[in-house]
Amino acid sequence: MTTTFTTIASLRDTLKPLRNDKSIALVPTMGNLHAGHIELVKRAKANADIVVVSIFVNPTQFGVGEDLDSYPRTLEADTAKLSDAGVDYVFAPSVSEMYPVMPPPTQVLTGTISQQLCGKSRPIHFDGVGLVVSKLFNIVQPNMAIFGKKDYQQLTIIRQMVRDLSYDIEIIGAPIVRADDGLALSSRNQYLTESERQIAPTLHQEVVRLADKLAQGAHLHSDQFASSSLDTIDNKTALCNLQSLINETIHRINASGFNVDYLEVKTQDLSDITDAYQDKNLVILTAAWLGKARLLDNQEVQVNTP
Ligand code: PAF
C-alpha cells in the first residue's frame, strides 16, 4: 500500500517513529516515470526497509526558455506504477510547499564542476538540483539515496555535495536503463517524432564505437584510426589523437541528424585528462539535440595501455 504525502510535515510525522529501527531509501524524481525509475526503486528496495519516492518538477533547475511548463506531469499514472513496484511513500509537494518564497533566497552553489558539460548550456541547472536535493535530504533524512548514472554529472555533483555538506547519506549510482535498440530511457524521449526515434539510437552506437577505440588504447597509437601501430607516442600527441577521435565521433553523430551540444572524454571524477597514459578510468559524456529533445548519454571506459 503506497501512501502519498503533499506536505513536509505529514511525511516527517510518518517517518519519525520509523527511523529508529528501519532504514530509509530516497529516490528523487521529477515524475513521468519509466522503467529507468523503476530500476532505481528496485535498488532502493533491495537496500532499505522503507522506500520514499519524491515526485517534484523542480522549477529552480530549469533555465529561462527551457521545458518547465511543458515537462510531462503524470502523477496518477506515476503513483500507480510506484504502488505496483512496492514503494511505501510518495512525496509529491507543490511548488509553494517546497519554496515558500520564489525565487528562494537561500542557494546551494555546486561550484566549477557544474559549469562544464551540461552546465555550459544550462548555467543555473545544477545549483537548482543541489538546492532541491539538499531540501529533500533534510525532509526525508534517508540513510541512502539512489540516482541514475544517465545523469552522470548530476550524480558526481550530488556526491560532492554530500561530502562538502557532511550529509550522512550513502549515494548509490544505478546503471543506465536502455531501450532494446540502445537508447537511454528518459522522460524527454517522448519529445521525439517517430522518424527521430529511429535515428535516436545512433547516439549510443557512436558512444560505444568511441568507447571501444579508447578501451583498445587507439589514442595511444601513432595511427589512432587504424589502431594498428604500437609505436610509442608522447602524451601531447596522444591527447591530440584523443581529440581527433572525439571530433570524428561528433561529426558522425551530427551527420546522422543530431546537433551535438557537447561530447567530451573526462576522468571518472570529471577532471580533464592530463596524462593519456596514467588516466585510464575514463568516461565519455555527451548531450545532443534531436529535434526538440536534448538527449544525454555516457559510457565509462577502462583504457588498456599498450
Ligand atoms: O534527475 C532528476 O530527475 C532531477 O534532477 C532530480 C534529481 C529529481 C532533482 O530534481
Instruction: Encode pLDDT of 211-222 as tens digits.
Output: 999 999 999 987
Tell me whether residue 179 is in a domain. no
CA-to-CA distance for 119 and 169, rounded, in angstroms?
Answer: 25
Ligand 1 centroid distance, CA of 65 (Å): 18
Task: Give the end of a domain, one of 132, 151, 174.
Answer: 174
Which tens digit of pLDDT belongs to each residue from 191-202?
A: 999 999 999 999
Which atom of ligand 1 is nearest to 28's Cα? 8
- Pair (14, 148) in one structural domain: yes
Q: What is the CATH number of the domain that holds 71?
A: 3.40.50.620
- Pair (209, 239) in one structural domain: yes
- Pair (142, 259) in one structural domain: no
Asked whether 41 and 48 are in contact (CB, 8 A), the reply is no
- Pair (170, 198) in one structural domain: no
State the cell numbers at 54.
Answer: 519524491
- Pair (297, 213) in one structural domain: yes
Which atom of ligand 1 is nearest to 148's Cα? 1
- Pair (101, 136) in one structural domain: yes
- Pair (119, 83) in one structural domain: yes
Ligand 1 centroid distance, CA of 92 (Å): 13
- Pair (42, 158) in one structural domain: yes
Ligand 1 centroid distance, CA of 36 (Å): 13
Coil, strand, or helix at residue 85? coil
Within 6 Å (CB) of ligand 1, which residues are found?
28-30, 58, 61, 129, 132-133, 151, 154
- pLDDT at residue number 6: 98
Q: If you search the block for the grid coordinates 539512489, which residue do you land on?
A: 146
Tell me whether residue 86 is in a domain. yes
- pLDDT at residue number 113: 96
Q: What is the CATH number of the domain that holds 248?
A: 3.30.1300.10
Task: Give the end of a domain, one of 120, 144, 174.
Answer: 174
- pLDDT at residue number 228: 54
Tell me whether residue 182 is in a domain. no
**Catalytic annotation present for 37:** yes
- Ranges of the chain with pLDDT below 70: 224-231, 306
Catalytic residue among 34, 37, 125, 221: 37
CA-to-CA distance for 186 and 263, rounded, in angstroms?
Answer: 18
Task: Give the end of a domain, one of 146, 174, 202.
Answer: 174
Please state the domain count of the chain.
2
- To 5 degrees, how large is the angle CA 160–CA 166–CA 167? 90
* Residue nearest (by alpha carbon) to ligand 1 atom 1: 29
Which atom of ligand 1 is nearest to 54's Cα? 8
* Residue nearest (by alpha carbon) to ligand 1 atom 8: 29
Residues present in the chain in total:
306
Tell me whether residue 106 is in a domain. yes
- Strands (E) in the chain, as ranges, are 3-5, 24-29, 50-55, 89-91, 144-148, 170-174, 259-267, 281-290, 293-302
Tell me whether residue 270 is in a domain. yes
Ligand 1 centroid distance, CA of 155 (Å): 10
* Residue nearest (by alpha carbon) to ligand 1 atom 2: 29
Q: Give the CA distances from residue 226 to residues 120, 144, 216, in Å, rounded to whole numbers and listed in that order.
A: 33, 46, 11
Tell me whether residue 238 is in a domain. yes
What is the span of the domain harbouring residue 149? Answer: 3-174
- Pair (69, 166) in one structural domain: yes
Tell me whether residue 180 is in a domain. no
- pLDDT at residue number 131: 98
- pLDDT at residue number 222: 79
- Pair (155, 194) in one structural domain: no
Tell me whether residue 83 is in a domain. yes
Which atom of ligand 1 is nearest to 61's Cα? 10
Ligand 1 centroid distance, CA of 273 (Å): 28
- Pair (159, 211) in one structural domain: no
- Pair (118, 240) in one structural domain: no
* Residue nearest (by alpha carbon) to ligand 1 atom 3: 29
* Residue nearest (by alpha carbon) to ligand 1 atom 6: 29
